[in-house]
Amino acid sequence: MLFHYSVLALVLLAISLTLIYTMKTGISPVPTSPRVRDKMLAMIPPDRLAGIERGRLFDLGSGWGTLAFALAKRFPDG
């Protein structure tokens, strides 16, 4: 029974923190969908982040970092 109350407390805490963040910033966190993430990764030329002309990528979204994690995994030197 204690386990169930602990899980419930963690869920309520996560929801509360998300609501507070949304009210404070005016932006609700929206994760990038897998379809959009894959499309955006496909748009980046593979040689863009390699060699002398190394580029930079920025994730300016307001999500959970799913796009940033995918970019870091695909381009570890970027």
pLDDT tens digits, 16-34:
998 998 899 888 888 888 9
How would residue 49 be classed by pLDDT, with cut points 50, 70 and 90? low
Span 42-49, average pLDDT = 74
Give pairs for 51-55: CB < 8 Å, separation 24+: 54/78
Q: What's the pTM?
A: 0.55
How would residue 9 be classed by pLDDT, with cut points 50, 70 and 90? very high
Which among 36, 48, 35 is positioned nearest to 74, based on CA atoms? 48
Quickly list DSSP for the chain: -HHHHHHHHHHHHHHHHHHHHHHHHS----PPPHHHHHHHHHHS-GGGGSSTT--------SSSSHHHHHHHHH-TT-
Residue 31 CB contacts under 8 Å (≥ 6 apart), including other chains = 63, 64, 66
What does the domain layout of the chain look like in residue ranges? 1-28, 31-78
